[in-house]
Structure 1
Amino acid sequence: MPSIALSDASTPSSSSSSGRSENKPPEEADEHFLKITGGGRPFQKDIADLFATFIAAIELKSHKRTFRTHANCFSTNDALQILESLKFSQSTRAPNPDQPKMFVTTTTNFLFSMSRKVAMELCQRFTDARYIVNAVDASSYTFKERSLYSLTPKGLHILEFFVRKTGIDIDHIQPILESQIACPRLFHFQRDPEEDKIVFSDKAMTALFRWFAGKRPNYPNVTTVPPPSLEALFHYTQRSRGVALMDWSDRGKGAVVHRNCFEAAEAVNWLSDFTTMVARDEAGEAMAHFVRMGLIGRIWTPRKNTTTFTAGAAEFVCAPKVIYHITEKGRDAAGWPERPDEKPPKVGESIFRDGMSEKYSTVHQHLRFILKERPFRALFRQFQQGILCDENISFWMEVDALSRKSEITSSAAAWPPAASQRSVRSNRRKYHQALLEHAQHIYRTYIQAGKAPCEVNPDHYLRKALCNFLDTVRVPEEEAARAEYAGDRHLCAIMHCDSEQLQTLIRHYSILQDYVFRLMLIDPFPKVFIQPALG
């Protein structure tokens, strides 16, 4: 792949707590080329960053094609025009170590330069990585001229991670994040820093196989007919639990029925969709390692049009209608229950009525309605208690309450106090203190790693971002050492947040809240529709 040039220039500025700022001259622009692997592709991290930068810059809108309207798409021509001169600005704000009351804000401007041919090849990399999909023909894996493309759940996950990492503003993308399905988690790999190749150790492959096989055999539930507004969510939720399995009969050998079988092509697609792999070759090589380790075995291969991937002496054959099955060793490695052959539950009366489905057309609106309406929330909580994850509802409600209280009135939005308004000023301080205590309660109850009694399971990078922010809050050492904080400086830092820092803390909580919301959306929420009426 030809090279992609990257130019970046940083402009630092200093500001005090009163808001005064002093701009400094920009540093000299630095230009370099993105690293390319021996196979000619950019490194995985660079592909992800380029993709997210590209999506933040392009307009996603509705397009008409072949008598259909495709929402939230971009055209090939628009994509190439954006990529030929892709610009991106990032600002970071940190305390000045030399002057405690001052902050240093650094704005870095990035400019990616590439030819139209390189932009076309880069879009093909986005397609190979399963960040985008052809909106007209989802079965096409080639980035084509004069076509339309939309974001995949994996692409939305990559975009959200980039936003959390950089803090950029993507208000124009927010409606899409609220209306489309985003992958809540991806399996991450260790890569060789020099060649960007995945490190296929046996330990990593065993962990990947458990991710691939799921907690139990994933036989699609064909008896459940979800409401039309939830059909896409049901399909994605079912698929996210592990590769789709089937029973396969070999008619040439006395009609032997093989259990726990899957198509080779679907296995490669599944790994591409639910891991950080950026090429089908990587997925094929991982499957070859599964063969090498005896976790899967081939039981049927057509005689033409096959692609073979190797791992040592083992090989994985990929083509339509090539059938593999999970071996006994694979079942043990996956940790499946001894008797996994459970029939899917019968469709019972849902706690939701058709009228609600029509009124709340999107899945996100549907779940938000349930969380905000006490009778439905009580039923949903009762259901979640049965699967031991009702703390997600409690956390969502706590953060929602804190956000609403901070919006009603807080020291951040209050009027400037006058000398005669001592009681008003005192009330503001008390209200601000109450908000801090509520924020600390949320951290202590749901977020504190290893100690929270109702700990939720947020993304590692979200928790890290919150902790990094709390590390910037100045705390007297004697305060942090108090017994009530049990050695956790972050609990003390929360109580020392000023009004601006409190708003930042609430934004971090809201991001965690959104992540937990998506976890509920992907896992327990669809299960409600296949359970008998609760209560």
Structure 2
Amino acid sequence: MTAAEKSSSKMHQTSSKILRMTDDDRPFTRDFKDLFATLVTSLPLTAHRVRFQKVEETFLSEEAITNLGSLKFSQSNRIPDPNNPSRWVVTTTTTTFSMAKEMARQVCQRFVDARFIESAEGKNHTSFPTKGALWQLTPKGISILKQFCDGNGIEARHIEPLLRKHQMQIVVLERDLETDKLMQDKTTLEVVFRRMCGADGPNLKASTAQSDSDSVSEYASGLVGVKMARDRRVYDKIVPYTFTGKAASDWLLDCCTMVDRREAYELCELFVKWQLMAPVVEDRNFTRQFPAATHFQPTKYAIYAVTEKGQRVCGWLARPPSTDSDESLEANKEKKKMPKDTNMNRFTMIVSDSALRMLFREHLRASLCEENLNFWLDVRQFMSQYRTQEKLGRLNKPEVVKECLATSYGLYNSFLAAGAPSELNIDHSLRNRLDARMTQTETDEASLRGGLENVVELIELASMSVAKLMASDSVPKFLRDPKYQSIIREHQLDTNLAQRALSPAPSPGPNDKPSLSRSSTNRVGKP
């Protein structure tokens, strides 16, 4: 150990986390996923015997409930002191959760309902008791855990075997930052519907018995669509591409980031409303029990088929000439008015449209630079909360200022500090200013408030820098990707560029920045 490594100072930010709830009594999706992943990293995932077999990476009900009673997550980053390079400064942000035993059990039950965990003793065991039951992570739960560990630089030996199993390409549903409501515009729903019906074509089964099976193990990759019967006899007709209401809602809950089954039902109702799928067999018992549920029945006895319109949306049939409604035509006229002559304007349009943003995220993930968009969105959410507190005049309260500072330290430690788990490529002078600011310590209230204002300014500058990077490098590649051409044409984002989809990248104009190499958009120091 060198002398520089021996000499260090510490800064610590602490915040208590409140699990935010929506107006329909559902936990905010991001908070809920973070709580789940934090819990899993604290559990002693070990092997347990179930009857005559040993099941690896499992935990008991009482272990989860006990750990949720007093849960802490600390994130530390070590950087050279800008004022004294021979010293190190360690910044640590600690988030704490605490809850009563019954509340902890209810939260664990929500983990089961969200398909994060499942019984290791049998898939039909869906209630979470206070003790004795054995649990394991689902493919969806492993995917969420991996995203959390990658984003926070967590390396724990006891979860490494789980992360090596990660295969699922989970569908990240776009949400309103303030309400956490799902984006439900027509184009976004069509993107989700295409994924539900299969990224590589329909998941056809030779018999109706196979398609109606409750087994969801084949969905582990997230790329296989809902189980469908190739042909199903309904009275005197043969109907192709049919599936049960239960299979559709199960797929959405198992393969998407939603955490409440009600949202799966809500999306299926909209699929029916938008005529992407249609009922062919009614479950009369469900109708008698829930007479108000007119659009969708989530049972294994209710049968649905992909409509001709749905097949066109999935790309199984060629699309006819546009027959948009007056409302859609007006929306397209408004989009045409928007300036689209620069990559930054195109970026603004992409991130402002939930369907395009969902596809852009998939493109960035394939290019190994999804963290750029994650940071930009996180900063946008942070700035929205900061401006709200400022507008309400609450920034004169030290506890609110400290909470905002703790959030800013979380962003810094995750994305901006040297060696951060999702380190972004930003200007060297801006990074130095951030490092210098984050290593300062304020004691009085006035200094705290001034420090927060300075931090907010620097983080905004970093966000703008990352946005410019995505606009100059990732946006042109996204617009030229053949996979997304149909959506790009529908949005009339950039017709000329879309037509050059299979052509070499155009030479930069006098006002365009040169295209950066892929490594420049990745995390620094990683290929």
Q: Please say if 1:92 is aligned against 2:77.
A: yes
Select 1:53's aligned residue among 14, 30, 38.
Answer: 38
**Structure 2 gaps, min length 5:** 208-214, 319-359, 375-414, 416-420, 432-512
Select 1:241's aligned residue among 224, 227, 233.
Answer: 224
Aligned to 2:191: 207
Judged with a 3 Å threshold, the aligned counterparts in structure 2 of structure 1 residues 175 and 233 are, in CA distance, closer, same or farther, namely farther
Q: Please say if 1:110 is aligned against 2:20.
A: no
Select 1:148's aligned residue among 110, 134, 147.
Answer: 134
Judged with a 3 Å threshold, the aligned counterparts in structure 2 of structure 1 residues 168 and 304 are, in CA distance, closer, same or farther, namely same
Is this contact kept in 2: 1:249–1:258, CA < 8 A? yes
Deviates more, 1:240-249 or 1:72-81: 240-249
Letter in 1 for 2:301: K
User: 2:127 and 2:69 mapped to 1: Cα distance?
Assistant: 20
User: 2:373 and 2:176 mapped to 1: Cα distance?
Assistant: 26
Secondary structure of the 1:196 match is coil
Structure 1 residue 78: Cα displacement: 1.3
Residue by residue over 1:61-99, the C-alpha shift from the partner in whole angstroms, topping out at 9 and shown as x without a partner, is: 222233433222111111111111112211134566666
Is this contact kept in 2: 1:47–1:125, CA < 8 A? no
Alignment of 1:121-520 (within 5 A): 121-145=106-130, 146-178=132-164, 180-183=165-168, 185-214=169-198, 215-220=200-205, 235-236=218-219, 240-247=223-230, 249-250=232-233, 253-254=235-236, 256-305=237-286, 315-336=295-316, 457-458=367-368, 460-461=370-371, 468-471=423-426, 486=514, 488=516, 508-509=526-527
Letter in 2 for 1:74: F
TM-score by length of 2: 0.58
Residue by residue over 1:282-327, the C-alpha shift from the partner in whole angstroms, topping out at 9 and shown as x without a partner, is: 00000000011000001112321468698xx962111122110100
RCO comparison, higher one (Cα < 8 Å, 6+) = 2
Residue by residue over 1:93-149, the C-alpha shift from the partner in whole angstroms, topping out at 9 and shown as x without a partner, is: 456666677654311222211011111111111112211111222134332343211
TM-score by length of 1: 0.57
What RMSD over aligned residues (CA atoms) do the two structures have, in Å? 3.8
User: 2:316 and 2:368 mapped to 1: Cα distance?
Assistant: 25
User: 1:158 and 1:73 mapped to 2: Cα distance?
Assistant: 17
Letter in 1 for 2:218: H
Structure 1 residue 456: Cα displacement: 5.7
Structure 1 residue 279: Cα displacement: 0.8
Aligned to 2:23: 38
Judged with a 3 Å threshold, the aligned counterparts in structure 2 of structure 1 residues 81 and 234 are, in CA distance, closer, same or farther, namely closer
User: 1:196 and 1:135 mapped to 2: Cα distance?
Assistant: 31
Structure 1 residue 213: Cα displacement: 1.3
Select 2:53's aligned residue among 50, 57, 68.
Answer: 68
Letter in 2 for 1:204: T
Judged with a 3 Å threshold, the aligned counterparts in structure 2 of structure 1 residues 141 and 491 are, in CA distance, closer, same or farther, namely closer
Judged with a 3 Å threshold, the aligned counterparts in structure 2 of structure 1 residues 491 and 262 are, in CA distance, closer, same or farther, namely closer
Is this contact kept in 2: 1:247–1:260, CA < 8 A? yes
Which one has a bigger Cα radius of gyration? 1
Residue by residue over 1:499-530, the C-alpha shift from the partner in whole angstroms, topping out at 9 and shown as x without a partner, is: xxxxx955x34xxxxxxxxxxxxxxxxxxxxx
User: 1:216 and 1:70 mapped to 2: Cα distance?
Assistant: 34
User: 2:102 and 2:521 mapped to 1: Cα distance?
Assistant: 51
Letter in 1 for 2:185: S
User: 1:491 and 1:25 mapped to 2: Cα distance?
Assistant: 32
User: 1:233 and 1:316 mapped to 2: Cα distance?
Assistant: 21
Secondary structure of the 2:148 match is helix
Secondary structure of the 2:4 match is coil
**Structure 1 gaps, min length 5:** 1-15, 223-231, 339-449, 477-484, 495-503, 510-535
Secondary structure of the 1:125 match is helix
User: 1:459 and 1:24 mapped to 2: Cα distance?
Assistant: 31
Aligned residue-pair number? 346
Is this contact kept in 1: 2:170–2:257, CA < 8 A? yes
Is this contact kept in 2: 1:300–1:323, CA < 8 A? yes
User: Sequence identity, in percent?
Assistant: 30
